[in-house]
Amino acid sequence: MTASPTMTIRISPDVKQKLDRIATDTRRSKSFLAGEAVAAYVERELEIIDGIKRGIADGADGRVVSHDEAMAELYGVIDAVEAKQASKA
């Protein structure tokens, strides 16, 4: 098993207290919980950054939809859902 790198972080007393509570209630170490939280945060942020980069590339390559076209599609979806719900009532 490869050794995990160690990091030191600063957290507020309130967050530490909550982390202590979670660790006690779940019988997990604070280190394990913090590592899981950082891993989840990193994955989520990378997905957001990658999506932004894809959007920028789409715009640069002309793969865009006008505001009016986008709104017309959204209103079409909303109207279809409302019609479906009305038919069930």
Over residues 54-85, the pLDDT tens digits come to 999 999 999 999 999 999 999 999 999 999 99
Whether pLDDT at 89 is above 70: yes
The more confident residue out of 88 and 46 is 46
Do the Cβ atoms of 33 and 26 come closer than 8 Å? Answer: yes
Share of the chain above pLDDT 90, in %: 93
Reported confidence tier of residue 1, pLDDT bands at 50, 70, 90: low
